[in-house]
Amino acid sequence: MPTDRVSVVIPTYNERENLPHIAAAVTHHGYRLLIVDDGSPDGTGEMADRLAAEDSRMSVLHRSVKEGLGPAYAAGFDWALADGAEIVVEMDADFSHDPADLPRLVAAIDEGADLAIGSRYVPGGATPDWPMGRRVISKGGNLYARIMLGMPTRDVTAGFRAFRADALRSLPYKKAQASGYAFQVEMAMRAHEAGLKVVEVPISFRDRARGTSKMGTGIVMEAMRLVTVWGFGRFKRGVRFWKR
């Protein structure tokens, strides 16, 4: 896959400290980079514009309202697909996702996957900076989603993932019910529903070194509520995604 046919979409909100570093690390691979900024009051959007003016591989999509991760990604997907991307990658701006792992996700798509998920919970994956309590909560949430939704994917909440463009077009990402991190669960669920080939690539997920996490109680509650609703809906329909 030519590197300029890969578009990395990074939503930002108050990521000014991280932006120049993550932009350099992504474009180092030759990939295109789209920053989707939700009107950051710290000047992230303005800095993104300055960086994009110096590098033709980088573009900026400004959104005036902070609506959450899901709508930001949906807007970014539309832009990347219209720009001719053949692989579209999601990742965070804070280096919790290592840009050095990008080629491995892209390679998984080249090898036949429709969706490649950077996974913390397959052999070789890790969360080295996390205390035990956080690991238990995260693994418990993933297990609950897997059981309720009948999916074999071990890290359904992961936000580091790559889509084949045609596969992404087949997913109803613009009609997603989730606005927060449950968007990741919803897209994995829709991919399994559609019969797409989903693979997990082991990664190490690290805590951010700069800036402030956007994860809050409301985001967690939205995820639990939606997973429960989707799960009971699946039970009523008698739908099974699990493949052995």
List, for residues 41-95, the tens digit of each pLDDT value: 999 999 999 999 999 999 999 998 888 899 999 999 999 999 999 999 999 999 9
**Nearest-angstrom CA–CA distance, 162 and 201:** 10
> Looking at the DSSP assignment, which residues form a beta bridge with residue 117?
161, 200
DSSP string, the chain: --GGGEEEEEEESS-TTTHHHHHHHHHTTT-EEEEEE---TTSHHHHHHHHHHH-TTEEEEE-SS---HHHHHHHHHHHHHHTT-SEEEE--SSSSS-GGGHHHHHHHHHTT-SEEEEESSSTT-B-TT--HHHHHHHHHHHHHHHHHHT---S-TT---EEEEHHHHHTS-GGG-S--STHHHHHHHHHHHHTT--EEEEE-B----SSS-----HHHHHHHHHHHHHHHHHHHHHT------
Q: CA 137, CA 133: separation in Å to the nearest integer?
A: 6
Contacts of 76 (CB under 8 A, 6+ apart): 9, 11, 34, 36, 61
- Residue 217 in this model has a pLDDT that exceeds 80: no
Q: What is the dihedral of CA 104, 174, 190, 185, to 10 degrees?
A: 70
At the fourth CATH level, the homologous superfamily of domain 3-237 is Spore Coat Polysaccharide Biosynthesis Protein SpsA; Chain A (3.90.550.10)
**Range 209-232 average pLDDT:** 75
Task: Give percent of the chain with pLDDT exceeding 70.
Answer: 93
* Least confident piece of the model among 9-13, 139-143, 164-168, 191-195: 139-143
Mean residue pLDDT of the chain comes to 91
pLDDT score, position 79? 97
pTM of the prediction? 0.91
Give yes or no for residue 237 having a pLDDT over 50: yes
Sign of CA dihedral 199, 203, 207, 209: negative
Asked whether the CA dihedral 150, 230, 225, 196 is positive or negative, the reply is: positive
Lowest mean pLDDT among 26-40, 99-113, 175-189, 219-233: 219-233
pLDDT at 220 exceeding the cut of 80: no
CA pseudo-torsion sign 3, 4, 8, 13: positive
- Please write the tens of the pLDDT for every residue from 137-180: 889 989 999 999 999 999 999 999 999 999 999 999 999 998 88
Alpha carbon 184 to its chain centroid, in Å, reads 6
State the pLDDT confidence band at 129, using cuts at 50, 70 and 90: confident
pLDDT at residue number 240: 58
How far apart CA 193 and CA 181 sit, in angstroms, is: 19
Place of tokens 């939503």: 11
